[in-house]
Amino acid sequence: MSKNYEQLLKSKMSEASFNKLAALSNPKLMAFVGFFAEHCDPKSIYVCDDSAEDTRYVRDQAIVKGEEAVLAHPEQTIHWDGYGDQARDKENTKFLVYKENLPNMKALNSIEYEQGHAEIMSISKGIMRGKDVVVQFFSEGPTESPFTIPCIQFTDSWYVAHSEFILYRSAYNHFLKMNDPEKDHFFRFIHSAGELDERGCTVNLDKRRIYMDTQNNIVYSMNDQYAGNSIGLKKHAMRLAINQAGKEGWLCEHMFVMAAVNKKKNRKTYFCGAYPSACGKTSTAMIPGEKIVGDDIAYFRNLDGEFRAVNVEFGMFGIIKDVNAKDDPVIFENLMKNQEVIFSNVLVGPDNKPYWLGMGVTPPDEGKNHFGAWKKGVKDVKGNEVDIAHGNARYTMRLDYLDNIDKEGFEAKDGVMVEGILYGGRDSDTTVPVEESPDWKDGVLLKAATLESETTSATLGAEGVRKPSPMANLDFVSYPLGTYTMNNIRFCEGMKNPPKVFSNNYFMKGPDGKFMTSKLAKKIWLHWAEGRIHGDYEALDTPTGKIPLYADLNDLFKNYLDEDFSEADYTYLFTFRCTKWIEKLERTKAFYTKMDPDTPKEIFDYWNETIEKIKTAREQFGDEIKPGDFKA
């Protein structure tokens, strides 16, 4: 390393902590810890290994330092973020980009490297003075596997450190085993909650900055505590991984990994799925009777010609609003148990138990929440009534607590072989509930790249506006969108059996303006897709793919839900609407042009050819083509 930090680190570490760090024999890692020990000037540094003792120590320190408090179930804790620090700060989350690369990144929230780096260095100078900090080692994906990305976290928030021990696989032993070429390749995260108030919440929110340097695989996060801003290994690391994947020929996607279980055929089929916010991602991953591997982020690799996937994470950081015994029985049951869970920004009642919005339980009229001391009817400084919990309140919990965990897939070093990909958006009048793509490229360009989420009455602004969300990954794509899309297409080139790609839409409305199917119907669409993968069902052609036969869906509704499914509903749901689809593709073209003017011509040619194909179909079969009427 260019500077010897040994004496400085020894002065801030116990002998045991220093020995843990020195045992890794990694100059780049030592320089990272040493530089920020000097620059941020913490009082002490604790280095963690993979031991249960260190994991427990971090949790206990989060409680001792007041960042968390123990609840009625002693293994459960509560953390409150400050009143202005309860969601991702998109405005101040930026890429640090070298000047020569800025033109290619203008559609993404970026700042010129030297300017941004100088700013974050100024903000972080001495920010940890007087604080005890912790250094941890983690892995994105399973340790010691083809998917592993080693990570180091340096933080002064013991709540953040505790959260990460739940959410990620501890990887100190992995770092110990890294050989010389590997020792230079790991993600680095430096975080500080900054100055805290009497409740332990971040004060200087005007200096909140999350700057990501994908060129050097380091993330700086300052003056925040909300996990979406502070936990570097989650969405910040995802941006680093997407960038790295683009260079190396694999994929990092905003997807769940799950298994559809067909008990009659005694088979298990792995699916991955991407859905924009409020479009059914978590509820699909948690369909009753199926198995879950992961709920948020997946890495894909071509291993010996097979499409393999892992869940990047070990736990889940979930929105708790509307989690109740009826709609989310598996998660709700686990939130009621005396096991390690961190609740954030919910109400703690006089009984020292957590309460949240949509819990299905009558909450007390007073208690403590993110607002402070709370009583029913209390108003904030703007005169708005404060609800019992924040709408973005969360729970942090291990995935392997869930009874429906697929242990085989969850622990597999080489991941699972994926046979189906689901892309689901939200629209009320265009996309059918499930449609199969003819091939992988079509799946990327017509199912994934065209994803949209329709605004609802619960969304600020006009209702019914389609918001583009290609691959449901737009917030995290860290290089130009057109190149990213082409990398998705090329990933399966030469692969033995690429997964079948399906689109979903759970939100089609009938002429009366009401949703056509129940929340449980997503199980039917999943199992039709599962059957198609294994050749169980025939299909009807549309201008953009293949749809189910009525008789097959009727049988599935009876077998899985004990419901009747009318042929009239089937016809309405699976009618192909030509003009609506042409409009959807034109919106997609306009969005790509705006986001990435250098999008390859091949992509636009494909969409233009599809538009012409749909226009021809409209001339032959009418604007609304009923199932079975289209002939390719």
Count of residues in the chain: 632
- The residue range of the domain holding 137 is 6-71+81-248
Identify the domain boundary among 375, 399, 423. 399
Residue at a domain's end among 369, 399, 429: 399
Which pLDDT band holds residue 516 (cuts at 50, 70, 90)? Answer: very high
Shared domain for 359 and 283, answered yes or no, is no
**Residue 282: strand, helix, or coil:** helix
Tell me how far apart the alpha carbons of residues 573 and 514 are, in angstroms, rounded to a whole number.
Answer: 13
At residue 458, does pLDDT exceed 70? no
Tell me whether residue 1 is in a domain.
Answer: no
106 pLDDT exceeds 90? no
Nearest to 487 by CA among 583, 600, 410, 581: 600
- Do 207 and 258 fall into the same domain? no
> Would 630 be classed as within a structural domain?
no
pLDDT higher than 60, residue 1:
no
Positive or negative CA dihedral for 202, 208, 214, 217?
Answer: negative
Residue found by looking up tokens 């622990």 in the block: 411
Has residue 565 been placed in a domain?
yes
| 105 shares its domain with 224 | yes
What three-state secondary structure class fits 313? coil
Answer yes or no: do 274 and 240 share one domain. no
3-state secondary structure 541-574: EECCEEECCHHHHHHHHHHHHCCCCCHHHHHHHC
In a domain, 632, yes or no: no
Q: Are residues 506 and 599 in the same domain?
A: yes
Is residue 279 among the annotated active site residues?
yes
Which of 399, 426, 443 is the endpoint of a domain?
A: 399
pLDDT single digits (tens) 251-282 = 999 999 999 999 999 999 999 999 998 899 98
pLDDT, tens only, 149-166: 999 999 999 999 999 999
Residue 333 lies in a domain: yes
Is residue 242 domain-shared with residue 378, that is, in the same domain?
no
Segment 300-323 shows an average pLDDT of: 96
What is the CATH number for 384? 2.170.8.10
| pLDDT, tens digit (0-9, with 9 covering 90-100), for 577-627 | 999 999 999 999 999 999 999 999 999 999 999 999 999 999 999 999 999
* pLDDT at res. 460: 47
Higher pLDDT, 632 or 114: 114
Average pLDDT across the chain, whole number: 95
Q: What is the CATH number of the domain that holds 242?
A: 3.40.449.10
Does residue 631 sit within a domain? no
Catalytic residue among 40, 279, 492, 578: 279
pTM for the whole thing? 0.94
> pLDDT per residue over 26-85, tens digit each?
999 999 999 999 999 999 999 999 999 999 999 999 999 999 999 999 999 999 998 888
Distances (CA, A) of 118 to 122, 187, 204, 232, 244: 6, 21, 18, 20, 24
Contacts of 555 (CB under 8 A, 6+ apart): none
Alpha-carbon distance 209 to 30, whole Å?
A: 25
**CA–CA separation, 363 vs 371, rounded Å?**
16
592 and 565 inside one domain: yes
| CA–CA dist 450, 427 (Å, integer) | 12
CA distance 428 to 455: 10
The answer to whether position 242 is within a domain reads: yes
**270 shares its domain with 336:** no
pLDDT at position 456 is: 61
Residues 20 and 124 in one domain: yes
CATH number at residue 543: 3.90.228.20
Q: Is 303 in the same domain as 157? A: no
List the beta bridge partners of residue 452: 468
Q: How many domains does the chain have?
A: 3
My answer on whether 279 and 217 are in the same domain is no
The pLDDT value given to residue 103: 86
Same domain, 546 and 604: yes
pLDDT bucket at 432, cuts 50 / 70 / 90: very high
State the DSSP H helix or E strand holding residue 301, giving kind and residue range, or none if neither.
strand 298-303
- Reduce the DSSP state of residue 114 to 3 states and report it: helix
Q: Is residue 273 included in any domain, yes or no?
A: yes
